[in-house]
Amino acid sequence: MILGQEPILLTPGPLTTSPATRQAMLRDWGSWDAQFNRITASLCRDLVDVVHGGEDYVCVPLQGSGTFSVEAAIGTLTPRGARILVPDNGAYCQRILKICRYLGRDAIALPIPEDQAASAAAIDEALTRDPSITHVAQVHLETGAGVLNPLADIARVCQKHGKGLIVDAMSSFGAVEIDVRSMPFDALIAASGKCLEGVPGMGFVIARKSVLEASAGNSHSLAMDLHDQYSYMQKTTQWRFTPPTHVVAALRAAVDQFLTEGGQPVRGARYRKNCCTLVDGMASLGFRPFLAPEVQAPVIVTFHAPADNKYDFKAFYAAVRDRGYILYPGKLTQIETFRVGCIGAIDDNEMRNVVTAIAQSLTSLGIRQVAPLTRAA
């Protein structure tokens, strides 16, 4: 779909963007410019519409990576005496636990194997057992392995118990269906450089308006105070501090393309086709996905590393990169793996090309033993 001489990024973000998105960054904007502020406002409206938020939800943008916005959401939308349950099946769940520790929030981990999805029944049991829990912080798509957690089921459990739900949807927003009408949450966090196919540098929080308006004084930080950011934007239409103007302009262009493509249903279908093409092609080389199909998200696929003593990820990465593709290292704790992303401004033809590049790389490195995988129990 793209291309040129630059390597294709097969990572969960940053990712390969379209020429139109990159073109949008060639203009300089003044941060007080009325037209720029209208771009911000239109983006916020469109992002709320993606989750069918209506008038009950608002979008608050924030400078920085997605993690900045996760920390801002937890720090602003939970009181300092909050007790937060964090279902933990990977690296980004563990990051939320670390954020809670830094913020002085009482966090309880609910351990889950890295190859399994979070269980709504287990969360239900935990909330029943400990009614002092006030919130659940749930990663929707745990990109450490590529597990898609059952957000709708978890949201219903939280609603039943009257607990606030904070969703890290960093790698799922725009690719996987999220509908607040059937998946109610207090806040959902995502970022510019993921499945919306913008560039990195801006996160955003889609928050229940009543919860955000009641959150004054919670935040540990001026820069990450979503209530203050929202209030200032409502009064002035401007960002409080210097905005990432080029990132915002690129995201506006990317969201325009997202909507023209057909929104989440069509974007998600393209990614699912990419994922299936990748998995089938890698199977022909002897690779199998780490995850079972029922928990595999169509965004990034984890593969076991080849069972060959000639395999070294850095050499493998370099060989594939020389052929035009950038892979991602594994992020599991027990097993050596690597990951291949299925997102960005690419299609299934590009996935066939990367399989060819990986086959050529294996040959060039003398790697012959790509063992059939035994899926973890």
Highest CATH level, class, for 8-13+263-364: alpha beta
Torsion of CA 291, 65, 257, 38, to 10 degrees: 150
Residue 257 CA to residue 242 CA, distance in Å, equals 26
pLDDT tens sequence across 191-241: 999 999 999 999 999 999 999 999 999 999 999 999 999 999 999 999 999
What does the pLDDT average to over 266-272?
Answer: 98
Query: What confidence category does residue 370 fall into, taking pLDDT thresholds of 50, 70 and 90?
Result: confident
Has residue 270 got a pLDDT over 50?
yes
| Amino acid type, 12 | P
Helix 313-322, helix 348-364: angle, nearest 10: 120
User: In the chain, which residues fall in CATH 3.90.1150.10?
Assistant: 8-13+263-364
- How confident is the model over 60-89, as pLDDT tens digits? 999 999 999 999 999 999 999 999 999 999
What's the confidence (pLDDT) of residue 375?
A: 47
Secondary structure in 3-state letters for 123-162: HHHHHHHCCCCCEEEEECEECCCCEECCHHHHHHHHHHHC
Q: What is the pLDDT of residue 3?
A: 46
For residue 199, the one-letter residue type is V
List of residues 6+ apart from 171 with CB closer than 8 A: 12, 13, 140, 141, 143, 194, 195, 297, 299, 300
Question: Is there a contact between 341 and 10 (Cβ–Cβ < 8 Å)?
Answer: yes
Q: What is the per-residue pLDDT across 91-144, written as a single tens digit (0 to 9) for each?
A: 999 999 999 999 999 999 999 999 999 999 999 999 999 999 999 999 999 999
High-pLDDT (> 70) share of the chain, %: 97
Please tell me the distance from the alpha carbon of residue 230 to that of residue 232, in angstroms, as a whole number: 5
Whole-number average pLDDT of the chain = 95
Comma-separated ranges of CATH 3.40.640.10 domains in the chain? 20-260
In tens, the pLDDT along 169-194 reads: 999 999 999 999 999 999 999 999 99
Residue 211: CB atoms within 10 Å: 18
Letter string b/e over residues 47-69, b meaning 16 or more CB atoms within 10 A of that residue's CB: bbebbebeeebbbbbbbbbbbbb
pLDDT value for 362: 97
pLDDT of residue 283: 96
Handedness of CA 237, 239, 245, 247 (dihedral sign): negative
**Which residues lie across from 218 on neighbouring strands?**
none
Q: Which residues contact 298 (CB under 8 A, 6 or more apart)?
A: 175, 176, 268, 271, 272, 274, 275, 342
CA distance 290 to 303: 5
pLDDT at 6: 85
**DSSP β-ladder status, 337-341 and 328-329:** antiparallel
Residue 237 and residue 239: Cα distance in Å, rounded? 7
Nearest-angstrom CA–CA distance, 107 and 299: 28
Domain 20-260 CATH class label: alpha beta
Residue type, 310: K
Query: CA 115, CA 375: separation in Å to the nearest integer?
Result: 9
CB environment 86-122: b (16+ within 10 A), e (fewer): bbbbbbbbbbbbebbeebebebbebebebbebbbbee
Is it the case that residue 265 has pLDDT exceeding 80?
yes
Residue 300 pLDDT more than 60? Answer: yes
Identify whether the C-beta of residue 185 lies closer than 8 Å to the C-beta of residue 156: no
Per-residue pLDDT, averaged over 238-248, amounts to 97
Q: pLDDT confidence of 331, banded at 50, 70, 90?
A: confident
